[in-house]
A and B are shown apart, each in its own frame.
Chain A
Amino acid sequence: QIVLTQPPSVSAAPGQMVTISCSGSSSNVGTHSVSWFQQFPGKAPKLVIYDNSKRPSGIPDRFSGSKSGTSATLGITGLQTGDEADYYCGTWDTRLNIGLFGGGTKVTVL
């Protein structure tokens, strides 16, 4: 099963910044938009970034996204305890015509 590569976990103190990477290939991250999702235990994922760097209505500007080549990055600044969750990246693979997700990253606020 093809997945996008994310670090299993990241952590930082309140008010600090974390970044989460999402690595793919030329046929997925390199070609298609990347989206990012926040998921709390027992809940559905929620979109926080789409089209690599755009924020849906209601998502604070503490969340940002970027993409370069075959890698994308989610940044969370001014970290809050309420940001503790699992974060996933997602995209489409144009060669295989399948959707893809990263393995997920657990964000811990120290």
Chain B
Amino acid sequence: QVQLVESGGGVVQPGGSLRLSCAASGFTFSNYGMHWVRQAPGKGLEWLTFIRYDGSNKYYADSVKVRFTISRDNSKKMVYLQMNSLRTEDTAVYFCAKDLRSYGSGNFEYWGQGTLVSVSS
């Protein structure tokens, strides 16, 4: 069965950095696009970034463009989110999600359980 397991969350001071990881299993990872989505406490879902199946294209929400970087390693079945210059408003649960297709189709087929990032001084 498909599994997505996020890790790397924690408490970080404003201006700091974190790298989130998402380990995928149960499907041919190299065939599918992957997203990162976050949810601030008590708020709705916010799409952050997407990477195509082969890493050839990456897209970002304006709120994280320049500060966050998505990457993937198909040999390890991993997707990463490097987060720099963190702000208090980045505090949220971060989910990785598998797209139904190799490109950004808007069908977020499977989700990980999420990892909590808390930005606080």
Contacts from A to B (Cβ < 8 Å) = 1, 3, 28, 32-35, 37, 44-47, 50-51, 56, 86, 88, 90-92, 97-104
Contact = CB atoms under 8 A, between A and B. Distances in A.
B61 interface: yes
Contacts of B50: 99
A88 B46 CA distance: 11
Interface of B: 35, 37, 44-47, 50, 59-63, 95, 100, 104-114
B63 A44 contact: no
A1 B63 contact: yes
Nearest to B50: A99
B54 to A, nearest CB: 16
7 contacts: A3-B44, A44-B114, A45-B95, A45-B111, A56-B109, A102-B44, A104-B44
Contacts of A46: 111
A97 B114 CA distance: 24
A26 B118 CA distance: 36
B44 A50 contact: no
B61 A92 contact: no
B44 A90 contact: no
B104 A90 contact: no
* Residue among A28, A47, A100, A102 with max Cβ neighbours from chain B (10 Å): A47
Contacts of B47: 90, 98-101
Contacts of A91: 106
B95 A103 contact: no
Contacts of A34: 106
